[in-house]
Amino acid sequence: MHQIKWIKIADHENLLQWQENNMCIVEADGKKITLARIHEELFVFAYKCPHASGILADGFIDGLANVVCPLHRYKYNMRNGRNVSGEGYYLKTYHVEKRDDGVYIGFEEKGIFGWR
């Protein structure tokens, strides 16, 4: 069973620095990560594209709710990190919860020998 370490990033989602593309960059647990908001749902994933390190928050969210990297237009499912444009990369995703007292990001704690 995985332990999840929850980090509060804001008292409310509206207090985050959202860009016009409904994404923002935050730092939590020493990591820069990307938040995206679509239809009142939040998604959290890696700061950079796993292909060529494009800053994902500089991209956009397509009509199928995939994040699209600004460099080469690689597309990723924001819920599970699956590369949906066929290149075979995987985008790291994180847990996110909206609670009464704020927005929290969950990081899976590594077990023995770094296994998850």
- For residue 107, what pLDDT is reported? 94
The range of the structural domain enclosing residue 73 comes to 4-114
The enclosing domain of 44 has a CATH number of 2.102.10.10
pLDDT at res. 1: 59
Predicted pLDDT of residue 112: 60
Going residue by residue through the chain, which has 116 residues, state the pLDDT in tens, using 9 for 90 and above: 579 999 999 999 999 999 999 999 999 989 999 999 998 999 999 999 999 999 999 999 999 999 999 999 999 999 999 999 999 999 999 999 999 999 999 998 876 655 54
Domain count, the chain: 1
Question: What is the three-state SS of the chain?
Answer: CCCEEEEEEECCHHHCCCCCCCEEEEEECCEEEEEEEECCEEEEEECECCCCCCEHHHCEECCCCEEECCCCCCEEECCCCEECCCCCCECCEEEEEEECCEEEEEEECCCHHHCC
Q: Which residue type does 74 have?
A: Y
